[in-house]
Structure 1
Amino acid sequence: MKLGLAVAILALFCGAAAAQQGMPAYEPPVLKFDDSCTKPQWPKAELERGYTGKVMLSFLVNEEGRAIDSRIVKTSGSDLLDEAARVLQTCRFRPARRNGVVVGAWTPIHYYWTLETEELTRVRNDKQQALRQSALAGDMDALYELGMMYWEESEVRDQKLAVQLFQPAAQRGQAQAQYQLGIALYLGVGVTRDVEQGLGWLRRAAEQGSVEAQQRLGMHYSGERSNVLDLVQAAFWYGKAAEQGAVVAQEKLAEAYARGAGVPASSEEALRWYRKAAENGSALGQTRLGQAYLNGQGLAADAVQARKWLEQAAQQRWPEAEATLGELFLAGGVLPQSDAQGWHYLQRGMAGGDAGALALAGYLLTRGSHVAQDLPRGQKLLQQAQQLGEPRAAAWLAGGSAPDASLRY
Structure 2
Amino acid sequence: MMSLVASDTYVKAKSLLDAGDYSGVDLMKEAALAGNPYAQTCYGKILVEGDHVNKDNKKAAELFRKAAEHGIDEAQYYVGMDYYLGLTSKKSYKDALKWFRLSAENGFPKGQYYLGIFYYNGYCVYKDYGFAIRWFTMAANQGYSKARIALADAYMDLHNPNRDIKKAASLYISAAESGDVSAYYKAGMCYYRGKAIKLNYHQAIEYFRLGYKEGDVDCEFMLGYMYEHGQGVTQDTNIASMMISHAAIAGSDDARAYLDDKVPVKVKHTPMPVEETVLNTPDVVGKIRGADDGKTIFSQLWKRIKTNVH
> Which range moved further: 377-386 or 395-404?
377-386
Q: Which residue does the alignment assign to 1:144? A: 10
Tell me how far apart the structure 1 counterparts of residues 133 and 246 of structure 2 sit (CA, whole Å): 31
- CA 1:303 to 1:256, structure 2 compared with 1: closer, same or farther past 3 Å? closer
Q: Please say which of residues 150-159 and 350-359 is displaced more in the overlay.
A: 150-159
Alignment partner of 1:230: what SS? Answer: coil
8 Å contact kept, 2:188–2:204: yes
The Cα offsets for residues 288-343 of structure 1, whole Å up to 9 and x where unpaired, read as 33344345652534454234322221221223433223223223243222222221
Equivalent position of 2:29 in the other structure = 163
Percent of aligned positions with the same letter in both sequences? 23
**What is the identity, as a one-letter code, of the residue corresponding to 1:157?**
S
Using CA pairs below 8 Å that are at least 6 residues apart, which structure has the higher relative contact order?
A: 1
Structure 2 Cα separation of the partners of residues 358 and 340 of structure 1: 15
Match of 1:311 in 2: 173
Indicate whether 1:273 and 2:135 are aligned.
yes
1:106-145 alignment runs, 5 A limit: 140-145=6-11
Deviation at 1:153, TM superposition (A): 4.8
Q: Please tell me whether the aligned partners of residues 323 and 350 of structure 1 are also in contact (alpha carbons under 8 angstroms).
A: no
Unaligned runs of 5+ in 1: 1-134
Is 1:282 paired with 2:144? yes
What displacement does 1:346 show? 2.4
Tell whether the 8 Å contact from 1:182 to 1:199 is kept in structure 2 after alignment.
yes
State the secondary structure of the residue aligned to 1:198.
Answer: helix
Q: Which runs of 5+ in 2 are unaligned?
A: 264-301
Amino acid of the structure 1 residue aligned with 2:10: Y
Q: Which residue of 1 aligns with 2:220?
A: 358
Output aligned runs, 1:194-233, within 5 Å: 195-223=57-85, 226=87, 230=91, 232=93, 233=95
What residue number does 1:322 align with?
A: 184
Equivalent in the alignment of 1:346: 208
Paired residues of 2:9 and 2:30 also in contact (CA < 8 A) = no
Q: Which structure's CA Rg is the greater one?
A: 1
Equivalent-residue separation in structure 2 for 1:345 and 1:192 (angstroms): 40
Question: Does the alignment pair 1:253 with 2:153?
Answer: no
Q: CA deviation at 1:354?
A: 3.2
Aligned position for 1:85: none
Q: When the two structures are aligned, how many residues end up with a matched partner?
A: 266
For 1:150 and 1:160, the matched residues in 2 are separated by 11
With the length of structure 1 as denominator, give the TM-score of the two structures. 0.53
Deviations 1:189-243 (A, max 9, x none): 687765434322321210111122123323444459x576725244443332222
1:404 to 280, 298, 304: 304
Distance (whole Å) between structure 1 residues aligned to residue 151 and residue 49 of structure 2? 35
Structure with greater proportional helix content = 2
In structure 2, C-alpha distance between the alignment counterparts of 1:323 and 1:378, rounded to whole Å? 18
CA distance in 1, matches of 2:195, 2:133: 25
Instruction: Using structure 2 for the length normalisation, give the TM-score.
Output: 0.67
Q: Partners in 1 of 2:172 and 2:184 — Cα distance?
A: 8
Aligned ranges 1:54-69 → 2 under 5 Å:
none
1 or 2, which has the higher strand percentage?
Answer: 1
**Structure 1 counterpart of 2:155:** 293
Counterpart-to-counterpart distance in 1, 2:195 and 2:50: 55
Residue 222 of structure 1 contacts residue 230 of structure 1 at CA under 8 Å; is this kept in 2?
Answer: yes
Question: In 2, are the aligned partners of 1:267 and 1:298 still within 8 Å (CA)?
Answer: yes
Cα deviation per residue 1:58-111 (whole Å; 9 max; x = unaligned)? xxxxxxxxxxxxxxxxxxxxxxxxxxxxxxxxxxxxxxxxxxxxxxxxxxxxxx
Note if contact 1:143-1:166 (Cα within 8 Å) is conserved in structure 2: no
Name the CA shift for 1:321/1:185 in 2 (closer, same or farther; >3 Å): closer
Which region of structure 1 is more displaced relative to structure 2, 196-205 or 158-167? Answer: 158-167
Is the 8 Å Cα contact of residues 271 and 298 (structure 1) preserved in structure 2? no
Instruction: Say if 2:113 and 2:139, in contact at 8 Å, map to a contact too.
Output: yes
Kindly tell me: are residues 214 and 328 of structure 1, through their superposed partners in 2, closer, same or farther at Cα, counting changes over 3 Å?
A: same
Q: Structure 2 counterpart of 1:145, which letter? A: V
